[in-house]
């Protein structure tokens, strides 16, 4: 799964499955509110980590 798929799955799980929306404007407002809260909190990446400094120097 890539990060967009994970984000959409989390959105569906946390917001869309538990609420009933009367119209599209209310749905849009709820999604924007949820996304703003998501963006304001820290979420560590599950992707590959950048290479670190090796304690063993590479042979020349």
Write down the mean pLDDT value for the chain.
75
Residue with tokens 């599209």: 24
pLDDT 10s digits, 23-40: 888 888 888 888 888 888
Query: What H or E segment, with its residue span, contains residue 28?
Result: helix 24-40
Positions of the chain with pLDDT under 70: 1, 18, 42-60
* pTM for this model (two decimals): 0.53
């Amino acid at each position: 799964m890539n990060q967009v798929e994970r984000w959409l799955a989390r959105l569906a799980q946390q917001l869309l499955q538990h609420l009933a929306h009367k119209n599209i404007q209310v749905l849009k407002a709820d999604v924007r509110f949820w996304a703003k809260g998501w963006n304001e909190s820290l979420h560590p990446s599950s992707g590959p980590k950048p290479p670190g400094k090796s304690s063993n120097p590479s042979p020349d």
